[in-house]
Amino acid sequence: MTEAWRPDGEDEQQRRGASGPVKVRVPAKVNLHLGVGPLRRDGYHELNTVYHAISIHDELTARRGDTLTLTMEGEGAGELALDDSNLVIRAAHALAGYAGVLPHARLHLRKQIPLAGGLAGGSADAAAALVACDALWGTGLSRDELAGIAADLGSDVPFLIHGGTALGTGRGEAVSPVLARPTSWHWVVAIADGGLSTPAAYRELDRLRAAGAATAPLGSTDGLLAALRQRDPRVLAAALGNDLQDAALAMRPSLTATLKAGEAAGALAGIVSGSGPTCVFLAVDDADAGRIAAELEAVRVCRQARVAHGPVAGARIV
């Protein structure tokens, strides 16, 4: 047993950590390029992706407590289990185990990122829990140490610690920032009714590829990275791509109408976000995005259409 696990370890932890609540905001992600390579021996696919953090946020508040508890409100409340299966609880345990402290906190999640929407909401919440509990417990880990713990929790979690726009390789957990001059891109995010399972989308892609029914793999991110550097939304629009889109459309054929409606409304391009069913559309500017969102809601091709911009910061204390 380490020293931190003795009763006086808790006293020391109380002195080191924050006394008041710690509130962390964390963004959703979209993949501007999601290249899916072959299935690896460990069951993951090799990915070649460009992550992009957008301004739809979940918020996690951490307070001192005698045990570890989680409550929530917003998207998915009443549907999402709040027990040890929740990524927030898993992240808190992982950090406590790594730092040798007691996993005691009262956590409250305000969720705006839809469940199983292809926007990495669960991964975002795990990233928020790592940053919030690190401050609450005074464990003082570096962003890189937190990203190391994050990688064991899920492939997208390290990116959501960093935010911005970044290249993801391996199974997506190896993240390196894309250094581009600051440009804000304007998005419309069409949120669907219900979610899609990410593992099921990868299985469907494998099935389509085996049957020769998938579009050719995207391959390298070079074209997308070059397009980002040009800072012209029309150029970026032409470079967006997602290898999982065929699978998402096969599993949810109504998304074809959503994509068509966005383009008819004047979006520069539309793609399925990650494993779907959320679709994202690139607009020229914020006003254009607002107009496209209103039109998507008017033609009822989604549950809700939201305007967002990116890139934004990763999990941050507010």
Shortest Å, Cβ 119 to ligand ATP: 5
294 half-sphere exposure, CB direction, 13 A CA radius: 6
Contact 292, 34 (CB under 8 A): no
- List binding-site positions for ATP: 114-124
Shortest Å, Cβ 85 to ligand ATP: 6
Active site residues: 29, 156
Report how far residue 101's alpha carbon sits from residue 95's, in angstroms, rounded to the nearest whole number.
Answer: 8
Q: Which residues bind ligand ATP (CB under 6 A)?
A: 80, 86-88, 115-123, 125, 156, 198, 274-275
If we measure between CA atoms, which residue out of 159, 103, 112, 155 comes closest to residue 132?
Answer: 103
Report how far residue 15's alpha carbon sits from residue 223's, in angstroms, rounded to the nearest whole number.
Answer: 51
If we measure between CA atoms, which residue out of 95, 68, 101 comes closest to residue 2?
Answer: 101
Nearest position to ligand ATP, beta carbon = 122
Shortest Å, Cβ 287 to ligand ATP: 28
Shortest Å, Cβ 21 to ligand ATP: 19
Nearest-10 Cα torsion for 57, 239, 50, 206: 100
Shortest Å, Cβ 123 to ligand ATP: 5
Report how far residue 218's alpha carbon sits from residue 299's, in angstroms, rounded to the nearest whole number.
Answer: 31
Report how far residue 134's alpha carbon sits from residue 132's, in angstroms, rounded to the nearest whole number.
Answer: 5
Contact 197, 90 (CB under 8 A): no
Contact 121, 29 (CB under 8 A): no
- List binding-site positions: 114-124
Contact 24, 315 (CB under 8 A): yes
Report how far residue 56's alpha carbon sits from residue 308's, in angstroms, rounded to the nearest whole number.
Answer: 7
Of 119 and 133, CB closest to ligand ATP = 119
